[in-house]
Structures are given as structure tokens and as C-alpha cells.
């Protein structure tokens, strides 16, 4: 399949047509998806039209857009014109089809990308697995006995399996970074408010982010740049002008990088710690630091998530409780009962944690931590054992991501292969590393990711399981 | 004495469910009580965290 940048270059040179790229993509999907269960819908008719439009531009000698002919797919909570937006939930299946594309899907189309389908996710984005009661489990492309993570599991696994160079997902508490970590792909959760969420099915308005997955850092940057820009229809969108990450992405000399200890070290198992160590060494980072409010920031995000998610779904929980999956319905109802005083306190904690993080950025430009506490768990595994402590898998996979999205910082997650574990199967699996920037510093996160990619520390590996 | 008198968390859940218009049987209520109990455990971390009195919330978060 190749990277997005390779595809764009080949189409621009005329060595490959958009139609040929799409045909290869369809073959890969037909071969690999039956075992993985990434796709919930395919949009091949639209893809044929979009690919033909790119080939027509080339034939006319016109300038091609920046993602010309690059196939991609989206988590099924993004509106796609003419399709029902499922958000992983059976109770949405009877809704009217979307009247228009989500803003960032429309922007991807304008940039020349070719939409091939919609991807599986955790029901209503509530959880870090993609073991969907209604639409099945998405499996890990590097070990089919294991899960892809979630909630954007289909998005990560489709890239990890080599079916697509770019996909889109969302991240409320780690739903881009956790599956990127487990599936061994690159993922970008931009600053809260950077990318508009208009036309996406909401979960927690005050925490929801959207962003890309890719099989290369340049692919992430190309997609990110294509999707940037203000959108007054999203009240949380920061209305900032486009600040291109660009494609050269050099990491500035003298970049100060801190390794997050404390909570982030305690909840990282030996494989996750080894990933951080490899990334730190390649970036020349030697100083450890601590975000003291990490634990309470995670707790605050947990409370805000429960309260907003529960309130959002209350009318349908009253009328159609049985149509919600058993793993989410009682959690959602319980969240809706959270007292206002807890939510207000959580929002106060959030501001306080943000202030503490900004104090860290007086000393460092970038912070690094593992993106998941361990390698991908087996499908159905109910608990994780991290350094002797047990934690429920569904919530525990986000233990290292939730404190960061709580305060809206931009993060690029890169695939690192620690080679740690008791069993050979575990030693073959990745644990991602979060490259965390100050607000609006996505470019620096991507530059560090590019440095690790060029050093061979962050890499996409072929799947042996497929 | 009712069965919830010595279990304020369950009493709260039952009262809040009624106030919000939910009607569940005992099996569903038991699941929701278990979930709320987990939330309450996490909330304790938030509620016990020392904050300056004037610390403002971030209801619309703009970093």
C-alpha cells in the first residue's frame, strides 16, 4: 500500500493512478478484514468517484491536492453523507442518514483523499476496547488473539494491518492513543479545540478530540494539515488559523525533553517502560520529571466523562435501555446520577492540573510517557496486572492517556517495539510512546515523532498474523 | 427499617433514579449501584484533592 506521501508522489509522477491505488486497497480489505473486523461499512462507489476525479485532474495536467488519491476510512462516529452514523451503537442504526459529511471528512475530500469506508469502535466511544456487543470485536493485526484497543479500534487496526495509510478517529480519554499503541501505528491527538468536531457523534463535549492515524509521520502531518482551520459550528473549536506542521518536521536543536515519572512510571509495566527508555535514548532525553496531579486529573476526567455521557444519553436510556450494550448501559445511567458538586470539583481540578502542567513546560518543551500500561491484552481479558497491581482492562488501558487529554495537551503517539515479556507472543508486540507538547505545539510533537521514525525506533512492522 | 437505610449509596442511587425518571427492576438497580460505587471511589480522589479556595472550574476548556 505504501505511505500517504509515497502514494501522493507516485500519482503526481504518473507511475500509479488513483484508481490503481484504490483497487489495491480493496483487495487488501477483502483479504484482511474478515479476520480483523475493522469495517462496518464500505463506501466503494464514492471511492471510485473520488479516485476518478483525481485521475481526471492528473490527465488534465492540473495541480493535484495534497492528499490526492490517498485512501482512508473513518471511525463510524463521523458523519458521511448518505450513511447512518452508528457510533458503534445499534440504537443509532434506525437514524436518518447523514445529510452531509463531518467537517473534517469534507476537508479530507477537498484535499483529494479517497474515502473507502466506516470503521468499528467501542459502543458510543465509552471504553478502551473494541469488543462491540453489536458489531463484533476488532482484533489486533499483530496477534489475532488480542484486541485492537479502543475506542477507535477499527481505525488503528486498519492501518496496522496495512489496509490503509490513513484513518480518522476520536479521543476523549485515550481512544486514539491507546489503540495506536496496541496496534503499532502512529496517532495524533491534537490540542483540545484544534480540529472541529462538527458532524461527529458526541460523547463528552468538554473532552472530545478528533485526529488521524497513519503508517508514517508524514502521513499524520498531511492529514492533520488538511483538517485544520476554524469552524464556528463547533463551539469548542479554537477558531485558530491553520498552522501547518509541514512535511520536513526537523526537531529543533536544544529541544528540552522530560521523561514523565511518578504516576506514568508506576502504571507502566516492563515493556511499556522499555518503550519509553528506547524513545528517550533516541531523543537524548535523560531528565525525569513529574506531573503531580496526574492521578487526580485522571479521576477528574473519569467523573466528567461519566456525568456528561450519562446526561447525553439519558432520554434514550429511559426509553431504550435494552438497546444499549450490557457493558455500557449501567455505566451510563450511573454516570448520569453523579452529583453536580463532584462535577464542579472535577472541573476545578482540571484547571488546577492544567496550571501544573504549564509550569512543567517552563522547563521542558516536550514530555514523554508510555501510551498504554502494557502490550495488547487478549480479547475478553478482564484485568491487567501492572507491576503487581490489578486494574480492570476496559478502564485501565487508559490510565496513562486520560490525565493528558483531561487537560487538552497535544500528543503524537509513536509505535515502539520493546521486545519485553515472558512469552514470545508478547515480545513481538508494540507499546506506543506519547510525545506530549504544550498547547498548540503539535508541530513539535510531530517533529519528535519524525526523529524517532528516522532513527528506526518508531516503526510500522508488517503483520505476521495475517 | 428499609434495606437502604444502612446503605446510603444505594439509597442515593434509588432516589436519584426516581428523580430522573428511570424505572428499573432490582437486577438493573444492583448493576447501577455497582457502577456508581466505582464512580464514588474515583470521585473521592477528586473531592479530597486540596485546591485553593478561588480555584476556578474549566467548564469550557480553552487551553
Tens of pLDDT, residues A51-60 = 999 999 999 9
Question: Can A328 be counted among the known catalytic residues?
Answer: no
Instruction: Answer yes or no: is A463 within a domain.
Output: no
DSSP secondary structure string, A409-438? --EEEE-B----SSSHHHHT----EEEEES
ipTM of the complex: 0.90
Question: Can A464 be counted among the known catalytic residues?
Answer: no
Which residues of chain B have a CB within 8 Å of the CB of A440? 63
Domain count, chain B: 1
Residue A329, Cβ density class (10 Å: 0-12 exposed, 13-18 middle, ≥19 buried): buried
Q: Give the pTM.
A: 0.96
Structural domain harbouring A71: 4-454
DSSP 3-state assignment of B13? helix
pLDDT at site B60: 62
Instruction: Answer yes or no: is A401 within a domain.
Output: yes
Using the Cβ of B49 and the Cβ atoms of chain A, whether some distance falls under 8 Å is answered with yes
Residue the block writes with cell 428499609: B2
pLDDT at site B3: 57
Q: Which of A75, A155, A181, A293 is catalytic?
A: A75
The enclosing domain of A362 has a CATH number of 3.90.1300.10
Which residues of chain A have a CB within 8 Å of the CB of B17? 333, 337
What are the residues whose beta carbons fall under 8 Å from the beta carbon of A305, sequence distance 6 or more? A126, A172, A173, A203, A204, A207, A335
pLDDT at site B55: 85
Tens of pLDDT, residues A149-203 = 999 999 999 999 999 999 999 999 999 999 999 999 999 999 999 999 999 999 9
Identify the helix (H) or strand (E) that includes residue A84: none
Instruction: Answer yes or no: is B30 within a domain.
Output: yes
Q: Looking at residues B29-37, what average pLDDT do you find?
A: 97
pLDDT of residue B61 exceeding 70: no
Question: Can A155 be counted among the known catalytic residues?
Answer: no
Instruction: Answer yes or no: is B5 within a domain.
Output: no
What are the residues whose beta carbons fall under 8 Å from the beta carbon of A211, sequence distance 6 or more? A168, A169, A170, A171, A176, A187, A188, A189, A190, A195, A224
CA-CA distance, A453 to A366, in Å (whole number)? 17
Instruction: Answer yes or no: is A466 within a domain.
Output: no
pLDDT of residue B45 exceeding 60: yes
Domain count, chain A: 1
Residue A4, Cβ density class (10 Å: 0-12 exposed, 13-18 middle, ≥19 buried): buried
Which residues of chain A have a CB within 8 Å of the CB of B46? 296, 299-300, 303, 342, 345-346, 349
pLDDT at site A421: 85
pLDDT at site A316: 96
CA-CA distance, A412 to A190, in Å (whole number)? 8
Q: CB distance A206–B63 less than 8 Å?
A: no
Average pLDDT, chain A: 96
Q: How confident is the model at residue B1 (pLDDT cuts 50, 70, 90)?
A: very low
Tens of pLDDT, residues A319-368 = 999 999 998 999 999 999 999 999 999 999 999 999 999 999 999 999 99
**Which residue of chain B has the CA closest to A238?**
B62
Using the Cβ of B54 and the Cβ atoms of chain A, whether some distance falls under 8 Å is answered with no
Tens of pLDDT, residues A201-233 = 999 999 999 999 999 999 999 999 999 999 999
Instruction: Answer yes or no: is A461 within a domain.
Output: no
pLDDT of residue A270 exceeding 70: yes
Strand order in the sheet with A186-189: A39-42, A114-119, A71-75, A166-171, A209-214, A186-189, A411-414, A433-437, A366-370, A257-260, A287-289
Structural domain harbouring B32: 23-48
Half-sphere exposure for A78 (CA within 13 Å, toward CB): 33
pLDDT of residue A372 exceeding 80: yes
Burial code (b: 16+ CB inside 10 Å, e: under 16) for A146-180 equals bbbbbbbbbbbbbbbbbbbbbbbbbbbbbbbbbbb
Of B21, B36, B51, the CB nearest to A318: B21
Amino acid at each position: 500500500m505504501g505511505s500517504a506521501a509515497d502514494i501522493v508522489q507516485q500519482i503526481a509522477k504518473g507511475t500509479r493512478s488513483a484508481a490503481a491505488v484504490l483497487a489495491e486497497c480493496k483487495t487488501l480489505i477483502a483479504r484482511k478484514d474478515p479476520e480483523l473486523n475493522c469495517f462496518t461499512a464500505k463506501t466503494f462507489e464514492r471511492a471510485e468517484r473520488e479516485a476518478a476525479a483525481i485521475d481526471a485532474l492528473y490527465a488534465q495536467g492540473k495541480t493535484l491536492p495534497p492528499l490526492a488519491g490517498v485512501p482512508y476510512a473513518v471511525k463510524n462516529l463521523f458523519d458521511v453523507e448518505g450513511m447512518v452514523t452508528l457510533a458503534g451503537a445499534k440504537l443509532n442504526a434506525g437514524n436518518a442518514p447523514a445529510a452531509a459529511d463531518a467537517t473534517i471528512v469534507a476537508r479530507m475530500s477537498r484535499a483529494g483523499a479517497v474515502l473507502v469506508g466506516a470503521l468499528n469502535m467501542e459502543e458510543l466511544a465509552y471504553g478502551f476496547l473494541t469488543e462491540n456487543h453489536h458489531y463484533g470485536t476488532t482484533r489486533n493485526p499483530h496477534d489475532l488473539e488480542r484486541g485492537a484497543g479502543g475506542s477507535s479500534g477499527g481505525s488503528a487496526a486498519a492501518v496496522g494491518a496495512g489496509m490503509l495509510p490513513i484513518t480518522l478517529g476520536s479521543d476523549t480519554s485515550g481512544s486514539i492513543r491507546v489503540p495506536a499503541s496496541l496496534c503499532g501505528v502512529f496517532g495524533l491527538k491534537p490540542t483540545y479545540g484544534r480540529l472541529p468536531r462538527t458532524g461527529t457523534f458526541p460523547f463528552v463535549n468538554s473532552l472530545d478530540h478528533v485526529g488521524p492515524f497513519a503508517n508514517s509521520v508524514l502521513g499524520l502531518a498531511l492529514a492533520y494539515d488538511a483538517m485544520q482551520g476554524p469552524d464556528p459550528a463547533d463551539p469548542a473549536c479554537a477558531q485558530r488559523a491553520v498552522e501547518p506542521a509541514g512535511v520536513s518536521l526537523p526537531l529543533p536543536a536544544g529541544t528540552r525533553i522530560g521523561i514523565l515519572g511518578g504516576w506514568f512510571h508506576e502504571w507502566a509495566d516492563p515493556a511499556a517502560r522499555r518503550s519509553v527508555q528506547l524513545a528517550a535514548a533516541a531523543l537524548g532525553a535523560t531528565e525525569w520529571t513529574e506531573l503531580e496531579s496526574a492521578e487526580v486529573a485522571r479521576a477528574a476526567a473519569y467523573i466528567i466523562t461519566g456525568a456528561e455521557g450519562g446526561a447525553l444519553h439519558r432520554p434514550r436510556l429511559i426509553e431504550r435501555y435494552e438497546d444499549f450494550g450490557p457493558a455500557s448501559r449501567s455505566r451510563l445511567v450511573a454516570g448520569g446520577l453523579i452529583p453536580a458538586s463532584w462535577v464542579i470539583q472535577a472541573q476545578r481540578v482540571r484547571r488546577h492540573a492544567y496550571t501544573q502542567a504549564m509550569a512543567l513546560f517552563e522547563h521542558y518543551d516536550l514530555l514523554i510517557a508510555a501510551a498504554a500500561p502494557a502490550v495488547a491484552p487478549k480479547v475478553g481479558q478482564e484485568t491487567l496486572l501492572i507491576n503487581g497491581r490489578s486494574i480492570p482492562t476496559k478502564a485501565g488501558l487508559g490510565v496513562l492517556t486520560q490525565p493528558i487529554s483531561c487537560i487538552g495537551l497535544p500528543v503524537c503517539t509513536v509505535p515502539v517495539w520493546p521486545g519485553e515479556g515472558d512469552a514470545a507472543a508478547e515480545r513481538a508486540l508494540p507499546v506506543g510512546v506519547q510525545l506530549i507538547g504544550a498547547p498548540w505545539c503539535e508541530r513539535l510533537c510531530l517533529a519528535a515523532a519524525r526523529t524517532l521514525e528516522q532513527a528506526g525506533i518508531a516503526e510500522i512492522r508488517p503483520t505476521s498474523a495475517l | 427499617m428499609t434495606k437502604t437505610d444502612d446503605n446510603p449509596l444505594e439509597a442515593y442511587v434509588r432516589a436519584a433514579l426516581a428523580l430522573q425518571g428511570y424505572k428499573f427492576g432490582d437486577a438493573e438497580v444492583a448493576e447501577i449501584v455497582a457502577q456508581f460505587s466505582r464512580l464514588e471511589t474515583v470521585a473521592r480522589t477528586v473531592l479530597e484533592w486540596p485546591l485553593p479556595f478561588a480555584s476556578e472550574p474549566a467548564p469550557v476548556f480553552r487551553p
